[in-house]
Amino acid sequence: MEQLQMRVRFNPARPGLGKVLGPLEAEIMRAVWQRGPSTVRQIHRILSGRREIAYTTVMTTMSRLFDKGILARNRQGMAYLYRPAMTKAEFDQWVMHSVLGGLIEAYEDKTIDYLVEYLSEEQPEKLEHLRQVLQAQAA
C-alpha cells in the first residue's frame, strides 16, 4: 500500500467513512469499492438513482479523490477508468495509522495514557486484548 500524501481530518461525530471523507467522497468510494473499476458516468448513474446530482460534481469529486491518492485512474478511450488505489481494509488501516500516529506525535505519552485509561473504564475486554498483543510483541 502506498503512503498517501493527504493529511487526515478526523471527525468522530460523523458516521463511517464520513469520519475522514466528505459525504460525497464517502458515497463515491463506497460505490467504487462495491462496483470495481468505473467511469464517472457509471458512478454518476448510481448516485443519480438515489438523488439529484450533477455529472460535473461527480467528475470533480472523483478527480479530487485521485489527487488525494485514494482513487487510481487510467485513460480508456475518451474517459478515465477509476479504481480504488487500495482496498477498504487497507484504507481503514491507513486512516487508523494516520489518526493514531498523529495523536501520538502531537501528545506523546498522554495519548497512550488516555487509551489505557479509556479501555480500563469503558471496555476492559479490549484492555485485556491490548495486554495480549503487547505480550506477543515482547516475545
Quote the CA–CA distance of 127 and 115 in Å, as a whole number.
Answer: 9
**Using 50, 70 and 90 to split pLDDT, how confident is the model at 1?**
very low
In terms of C-beta density within 10 A (0-12 exposed, 13-18 middle, 19 or more buried), how is residue 65 classed?
buried
Locate cell 467504487: which residue?
Answer: 32
pTM: 0.79
Mean pLDDT of the chain: 91
Q: Which three cell numbers stand for residue 18?
A: 464520513
Q: Provide the H-helix boundaries in 1-87.
A: 23-35, 40-48, 55-67
Where residue 124 falls (left for φ over 0; alpha for ψ -120 to 50; beta otherwise) is alpha
Q: What is the pLDDT of residues 81-119, one digit of tens each?
A: 999 999 999 999 988 888 888 889 999 999 999 999 999
What is the separation of C-alpha 89 from the centre of its chain, rounded to a whole number of angstroms?
9
Please give the average per-residue pLDDT across 7-26, as a whole number.
86
Residue owning grid cell 495523536: 103
d(CA 104, CA 28): 31
As given in the structure block, the three cell numbers for residue 84 are 480504488
Question: What pLDDT, in 10s, does the model give residues 23-45?
Answer: 999 999 999 999 999 999 999 99
C-alpha span between 55 and 106 (Å, rounded): 40
Q: Which fold has domain 16-85?
A: Arc Repressor Mutant, subunit A (1.10.10)
Q: Is the pLDDT of residue 65 over 90?
A: yes
